[in-house]
Structure 1
Amino acid sequence: MVSSLAGRRWGPAVAGVLVGLPIVAGPILFITYRQHGAEFAARAAGSSLLGLVSLAVFAVVFAHAGRRAGWVVTTATTWIAVLCADFALSFVHVPALVSFACTLAATGVAMLLMPKPGAHNEPRPPPAWDLPARAVATGVLVLVITTASAALGPGWTGLLAPFPIATSVLAGFLHAQQGTAVKALAGVLTGLFAFASFCFVLAVFTVPLGMGAFALGVVVAAAVQLLVTRLGVRPPAWPAAPGFARRTSPRRP
């Protein structure tokens, strides 16, 4: 809901960044920590790192499919792509550092593959059920995954924690209302650097630090996001989005 309000105030790129942060996966991993202990949560966080590769896949597929199809077909196609990616990644078992590197590489490649933002329709006032629908969709994902975590195990719990429910709702609404969600999806990719840093901290430090790892993860994720914002990281050849361009001092003659 915060991301939706921010998007209305500062634009879809900002909303995309907020959705791309661990605002859903974080609570899922914390609840699984409380339910199953530090070892389970650390392994789930390591799997979430790989799950972020699927989130990068989501952004690219949705951006390109949305240029040719409506939001329903685009969302369905993208979910199939994400589930296929998650299934393939479920067979990958590598250390957290390797998963972290894979996520960063996948995010960089996804930025290269993103289409440039084109013309879009003038935004229409969202319906009254807009924000409640987004909140309910996010809450359902948290409830389902945490309830089924014992049966899913840490691998699938982690892979599904970053599943793009909130991102799908945001992208779907933007696509339906404005004809494109490319800027928001680019924002999602920008947020993945902080998201990946959060999951990496949990994967490494949950066992030795317990709940302190979550506080450390939030601090690290915030620092990384500030750095990414300061550097103006965005897909190549894109114009700087408001709030994401690096400030520079005017040159003196």
Structure 2
Amino acid sequence: MDVPLSWQLAKLLVSIGIVLGLSVIAERVSTRVAGLLAGYPLGTAIALFFIGLEISPPFAAESAVFSLAGFTATMALGGGYLICGRRDGLAGVLAGTAGGLVAWWLASLALTRFAFDRVSGTLVTLAAIFVFTWLYRHLPETRAKVRTGGPPWPALALRAGLATAIVFLITGLAHVLPPAWAGMLAAFPISMYPLLVILHLTHGAAPAATVIKHYPAGLGALLCYTLCVSLTYATLGLLWGTLAGFAVATLWLLAWMRLQTWQGARRAAGT
């Protein structure tokens, strides 16, 4: 079907706003918080919403079931980027991107061979979260150095261009792909990958590695969101299904932050 220009403009504006917001948080607050927020339902929410809008809500709901398992491939992308992108500068970004995309492709290829349902897809990603969190446990924490005067215009243009290109590519391919691959593409790190590139280019490989380290911990909210919309898109519609998904994801994120605060207080009391 022909996609109205207004929908295309909406995708453009929303994608730009999300990536710029994450980049500001990483530079002004901390890369740890940015990594957690990168797991919040931002890029996937955009992709699934516009897939539902442009194709149909039931198609988006079916794709969301495969997205639940597809987040495992997203973590594989982070791992591939981490292994290959150890150098600073453009060479490190290109090597990390190549390694990450290969890891994502191989993981996605393996996952699409299985007929996942909501339970099995969620369990696969939960297992991957524990595995990657354990593998990253010794990675050092590195904050991005705060810049005065805001990011330069070339960085802003790169952030906007990457986010827009990824969103348009995913929603465009969804028109010609089955729900399994549409779901895998919707799970692609639309918001995290541009953040990695910008941090890597402007601050080096270490802050980008910190975002990758904390990304699995933030996936709980994304899992909650995707599970919710897989159940509600076909029954409640896109608007109410999306709002319900964000409500569930926010409750999970608040509970997770409260748990982290409690654990931090216990560790402090024990020292």
Question: TM-score, length-normalised on structure 2?
Answer: 0.80
| Matched residue count | 242
- Report what 1:28 is aligned to: 47
Distance 1:131 1:248 in 2: 41
Are 1:146 and 2:171 counterparts?
yes
Structure 2 SS opposite 1:129: helix
Contact 2:28 2:146 in 1 (8 A): no
Distance 1:84 1:174 in 2: 25
Distance 2:144 2:195 in 1: 16
Contact 1:120 1:178 in 2 (8 A): no
- Report what 2:200 is aligned to: 175
Are 1:117 and 2:139 counterparts?
yes
Runs (4+) of structure 1 exceeding 4 A deviation are 119-122, 243-251
State the superposition RMSD in angstroms.
2.6
- Report what 2:17 is aligned to: none
Code of the aligned partner of 2:68: L
Counting aligned pairs with the same residue, the percent is 27
Code of the aligned partner of 2:224: S
Higher helix share: 2
Distance 1:159 1:244 in 2: 35
Distance 2:262 2:156 in 1: 25
Q: 1:42 aligns with which of 38, 53, 61?
A: 61
Code of the aligned partner of 1:132: A
Runs (5+) with no aligned partner, structure 1:
233-242
Are 1:59 and 2:78 counterparts?
yes
Are 1:7 and 2:26 counterparts?
yes
Distance 1:16 1:121 in 2: 11
Are 1:215 and 2:243 counterparts?
yes
Contact 1:230 1:246 in 2 (8 A): no
Q: Single out whichever of 91-100 and 121-130 deviates more from structure 2.
A: 121-130
- Report what 2:7 is aligned to: none
- Report what 2:110 is aligned to: 88
Q: Give the deviation of 1:172 after TM superposition.
A: 2.7
Question: TM-score, length-normalised on structure 1?
Answer: 0.85
Distance 2:170 2:155 in 1: 23
- Report what 1:187 is aligned to: 214
Q: 1:157 aligns with which of 147, 171, 182?
A: 182
Q: Deviations over 1:135-169 (max 9, x none)?
A: 22112211122223220122211101121343222
Code of the aligned partner of 1:100: T
Q: Give the deviation of 1:60 after TM superposition.
A: 2.4
Q: Give the deviation of 1:249 after TM superposition.
A: 10
Q: 1:228 aligns with which of 245, 256, 263?
A: 256
Q: Give the deviation of 1:245 after TM superposition.
A: 6.7
Distance 2:68 2:267 in 1: 37
Distance 2:182 2:191 in 1: 17
Structure 1 SS opposite 2:177: helix
Structure 2 SS opposite 1:216: helix
Q: Give the deviation of 1:182 after TM superposition.
A: 2.1
Closer, same or farther: CA 135–87 of 1 in aligned 2, 3 Å? same
Q: Give the deviation of 1:7 after TM superposition.
A: 1.0
Structure 1 SS opposite 2:188: coil
Structure 2 SS opposite 1:150: coil
Distance 1:207 1:20 in 2: 24
Contact 1:123 1:178 in 2 (8 A): no
- Report what 1:134 is aligned to: 159
Contact 1:20 1:191 in 2 (8 A): yes
